[in-house]
Amino acid sequence: MDLRKIAEDIPDYKEFLSIDELNASSQRLREQYPDLVSIRVVGKTRRGDPITLLTIAGGADNAFIFGGPHPNEPIGCMTIEYLSQLLCEDAALRDELGYTWHFIKSIDADGMRLNEGWFKGPFTPTNYARHFYRPARHEQVEWTFPIEYKALSFDDPLPETRALMQVIDETTPKLLYSLHNAGFGGVYYYVSDECPPLYETFHKIPKWFNLALDLGEPELSFAEPYAPAIYRMLTSKDMYDHLDRHGVADPGSVIGFKASSAQYAERHGSFFLIVEMPYFDEPRVNDGSTTATLRRDAILQAMDIAIEHDNWIRGQYSSVESELRLDTPVRRALEDFLAMSAGFREADREWVMGAEDTNRPATQAELFSNLYTSRFYKLLNIGLLARMLRDEIASGNTAPALLSASDEAEARLEADGTALEAALDYRAIPIRSLVGVQCCTGLATAEYLQNSQ
């Protein structure tokens, strides 16, 4: 398999496809390759739209790849768009890999429709935040699989989650690939099992596309690294135990997450893969040079920044709560993110003060994670607040408190976004580069699994 040739041939996509455009493309692929491609309905979304599984016939082993596990993550939809076409066109590649391929282009299509406001650009942090939507934890398809663990008990999956469960059980995939992506930073990976032969490949592929590994702070403080920027897949059990170790009285209620697709697929022995891809990057994301700032101080400063943001949003929300009329996904997301940040911060502060590895000079990458990447993600919550208020006003709710809070939220979104962008030497990463890393990583992993049997 010539991964470099595959990488070179990826189209120069200029925008993300909408849900309707993705569905139309799938139908065209079936018409183009009727003896190879099949499409069947495996469920319905919460608003009643069909969830379709696109299958490309092939070998005895199954690979199941799904995009949009969070609806603000359309990179994977574009990866499937390219990969499904490639597999249809290249019989030799299909035969070499020996899989039957199953795809769901966007598993949370309802939520993704709420993100389409930024899919065509301009691709800036501020515009992304203005049109951003990511569901509350109890509405996230990827994190509402059944679980029984200590005091954490759940068995009421969303319709979209049930569709994933059905496909996983039917296909018992050798490779399960959930196409997530991050917002800002560099490339990093999660895998369900140690796979040393892949680590060099994982480190090499981003370089083909002029992308950096993310060598800053891990997504969660307790993530276990197998190699630089390669982590063991995090589970809700890990989150529960982290909170429990650091004195949180009711970890299950603080987590909010249930089980993930990776946890569900453990029963079938599936190898699970995630490649986290950013929309924006910056030279400092993988700068390993040391700074004069202790890593502990940088982490604490990031917590202080988060507390200021969250308290400001809470104050704005409290000032209008009695005037709100709409129960929208955006409102529920905002309320949930505020609750989640407060719960995890207590345990993380105890961890940072006691962990010996935080009592050393921070690298430039770690400092960047704490002082800038954290500000990017807080900008998204301001965007949710502004959007919630816009929705209320658009519905005809013109209470003076709402109008005032809306003006303040829009002004802060613009001011914080402008200040952040001015402090960064950032770029919007070409979509073909993002698709390339996800595609090549998935194919390399599929080949590795076949060669390891």
Domain boundaries, the chain: 3-282+429-451, 287-425
pLDDT of the chain, 453 residues: tens digit per residue: 999 999 999 999 999 999 999 999 999 999 999 999 999 999 999 999 999 999 999 999 999 999 999 999 999 999 999 999 999 999 999 999 999 999 999 999 999 999 999 999 999 999 999 999 999 999 999 999 999 999 999 999 999 999 999 999 999 999 999 999 998 889 999 999 999 999 999 999 999 999 999 999 998 889 999 999 999 999 999 999 999 998 888 898 888 899 999 999 999 999 999 999 999 999 998 899 999 999 999 999 999 998 999 999 999 999 999 999 999 999 999 999 888 766 667 778 888 888 899 999 999 999 999 999 989 999 999 999 999 999 999 999 999 999 999 999 999 999 999 999 999 999 999 999 999 999 999 999 999 999 997
Residues 380-397 as b/e (b if ≥16 CB within 10 A, e otherwise) read: bbbbbbbbbbbbbeeeeb
Backbone angles phi, psi at 156, to 5 degrees: -140, 65
> What secondary structure letter does DSSP report for 60?
S
Residues 65-96 as b/e (b if ≥16 CB within 10 A, e otherwise) read: bbbbbbbbbbbbbbbbbbbbbbbbeeeeebee
Residues linked to residue 178 through DSSP beta bridges, in sequence order: 66
Backbone angles phi, psi at 159, to 5 degrees: -55, -40
The reply to whether CATH 3.50.50.60 applies to domain 3-282+429-451 is no
The single residue listed with the structure tokens 């969830």 is: 51
Q: How is residue 172 written in tokens?
A: 């018992």
Integer Cα distance of 362 and 390 in angstroms: 40
Integer Cα distance of 405 and 243 in angstroms: 35
Q: Is 222 exposed, middle or buried (0-12, 13-18, 19+ CB in 10 A)?
A: middle
Predicted TM-score (pTM) of this structure: 0.94
Integer Cα distance of 202 and 443 in angstroms: 11
